[in-house]
Structure 1
Amino acid sequence: MIRFGVIGTNWITDSFIEAAVKTGKYQLTAVYSRQLDKAQQFGAKYGVDRYFDNLDEMAASDEIDAVYIASPNSLHGPQAKQFIEQGKHVAGEKPLASNYAEVDALISAAADKGVVLFEAMKTTYTPNFLRIRESLPKLGKLRKVYFSYCQLSSRYGKYLNGENPNTFNPAFSNGSLMDIGIYPLSAAIGLFGEPNSFTAQGTLLDSGVDAHGTLVLHYNGFDVVISHSKVSDGLIPSELQGEQASMLVDGISECKSVSLHRPGEGAVDLSVAQEENVMYYEALEFARLVELQQVGHSRLERARIVSAIITQARDIIGVRFPADEQPLV
């Protein structure tokens, strides 16, 4: 049983806890918040006995083996490093850190300490994502891939009203590419590996973060076009086109369904049943890696490639974060 603590008292933390407990491999033993009473209110429903408002004390605690980090993006890297240095396994909510330099430093630190570092990217662990990957040969020679994830932020109205919510504030390492585009990008890297090259475009808000944009990943014989947005809702599925067939994916972030389409034939449903809370699969994988002490696992290379592309793409479109000027030490 993995004794784990959580940083963050929001809905996504609730979702991860629910998923982790359902695997039967975890016991929630600690909750952190900057406000102790908030941590206590959050953890009461789980019967947690240990609460922290001091991260140094939590990282040094012998009551946890691992930590799940769901704080603002800008804090992911520094907090992960803090726990790695104390010999704790880390599951960091996506993005793993603010930029490539931080991700690279975390991977090196985890290797030095012999602990598992893991990016909680739910997409690439779902059963239907695995169905996509294993079904690629059915398409024949791949020619075009279109991945779309556009989701109107619930906080965009506040931004338009002159407020400065975290999700549109560069101080918290946010923006469409970091929060939304990372899902289809991670899916693409998980399926096809590192591209030969890429191009990037983005439209910036006055706050300095990207509102929406497009990535094009260039591979031998095909491109992957990724559309992402935090200021509009997208309704179209994602699509993979081959010379023999095409594949449609509903909801690329969770791969809700997958279907195969051959010319002149009816659609074939390739989907398999998934847990309603798909974070179950990332929790299961993190537990497996911890149990096997698999420190140098292959998922880190995906996280490294994704972070490198996002960091370079931000530079192209002009998005800079305070974290870019502050090396992780």
Structure 2
Amino acid sequence: MKLGIIGTNFITGQLIEAASHLDDVKPTAVYSRTEEKAQEFARKHGLSYTYTDLEAFAESDYIDAVYIASPNALHHDQAILCMKNGKHVLCEKPIASNHREAEEMFRTAKEEGVVLIEAMKSTCMPGFQKIQENIDRIGKVRRYVGNYCKFSSRYEAYRQGEVLNAFKKELSNGALMDLGVYGIYPMVVLFGEPHKVQATGTLLDTGVDGQGTALFTYGDKEAVVSFSKIHNAYAPSEIQGEEGSIIIPDISTPDGMTIKFRDGTEEKIETNTVYPPMFYELYEFKMVIKHNLRGSIINAPHNSLVTAKLMEEARRQMGVAFPADE
């Protein structure tokens, strides 16, 4: 599979490193708005082709599939262009600015007969599979806590008066979109769509959220997701059941989990995380294409659409509106 890359940031570098562990996935080309960045990235990662024209990139015979890691506001148009040119797409989370865009993207994938998968690495990792295998052992689940608060280096620049992409609403950014999705997406995979959403947040001068909390109500359980780019938090995430809890140190990269049972005993959850975290989403993408499936079972279209719907409602309650919503 010849893989084209959109974006020249550190995430795309990690994806290429993950691809080095797959013999039948070869990154071949990169698109950037500037020739200088494209050439620099291609030299660094050994890519053969560079593009600054997105249509030429999408039409290229040197590309079978595309990994998109551009700003959130660009995902929709770039993915649709690539899919209409017969390219499979692995699109970085969050897959779109809002639910409408996500629906259009998955509808296009179906119409064009190509694969579209949201690149949520955590749910494809062996650690998440171990959570799914062990969740029945903690009895009836009563609460899910997804906690991801990480002080952004870009916020340091923001405090000095420089607004970088991470805090621009025109790019559909903010703490919920960047970090909150890590708590919401696995919740949806595990428990489905909740009945009710209640969200609050702290808005910055640019109109995006710096931090926030969302409460999701299910019939027999609740979920609390906390997210921030303006402070750190060191509390783990947790799935709390009547007979015990699964402690998850890092919800974005599930590994090193522990089950703490109500009787006081503890048990480590052994995982087999051999490869870099992004390897597993790329492997899933490759296997879905190889077996001619329409979508992933793990990062299924339904999970992405529900997540997009929940995040849009949470933003509405927090007062975060993107140009893409209009």
CA offsets 1:217-244 (integer angstroms, 9 cap, x no match): 1112110111111111111111111111
2:50 maps to which residue?
51
**Cα pair 1:4 1:26 within 8 Å, conserved:** yes
1:103 maps to which residue?
102
2:178 counterpart SS class: helix
Matched, 1:149 2:151: no
What's the TM-score once normalised by structure 1's chain length?
0.96
- In structure 1, how many angstroms separate the alpha carbons of the residues matched to 2:59 and 2:86? 9
Shift in Å, 1:276:
5.3
2:197 maps to which residue?
198
Shift in Å, 1:196:
1.8
1:148 counterpart SS class: strand
2:285 maps to which residue?
286
**Cα pair 1:111 1:296 within 8 Å, conserved:** no
Matched, 1:168 2:164: no
1:307 maps to which residue?
308
Alignment of 1:1-329 (within 5 A): 2-275=1-274, 277-298=276-297, 299-325=300-326
- In structure 2, how many angstroms separate the alpha carbons of the residues matched to 1:264 and 1:323? 51
- In structure 2, how many angstroms separate the alpha carbons of the residues matched to 1:164 and 1:275? 38
Count of residue pairs the alignment pairs up: 324
**Cα pair 2:149 2:228 within 8 Å, conserved:** yes
Q: After the TM superposition, which parts of structure 1 deviate over 4 Å for at least 4 consecutive aligned residues?
A: none
**Cα pair 1:240 1:246 within 8 Å, conserved:** yes
Amino acid at match of 1:198: V
Unaligned runs of 5+ in 1: none
CA offsets 1:191-210 (integer angstroms, 9 cap, x no match): 11111222111111111000
Shift in Å, 1:28:
1.2
**Cα pair 2:212 2:226 within 8 Å, conserved:** yes
**Cα pair 2:284 2:296 within 8 Å, conserved:** no
- In structure 1, how many angstroms separate the alpha carbons of the residues matched to 2:4 and 2:144? 39
- In structure 2, how many angstroms separate the alpha carbons of the residues matched to 1:295 and 1:123? 21
- In structure 2, how many angstroms separate the alpha carbons of the residues matched to 1:267 and 1:302? 31
Shift in Å, 1:275:
3.4
- In structure 2, how many angstroms separate the alpha carbons of the residues matched to 1:16 and 1:88? 18
Q: CA RMSD in A?
A: 1.2
**Cα pair 2:255 2:271 within 8 Å, conserved:** no
What's the TM-score once normalised by structure 2's chain length?
0.97
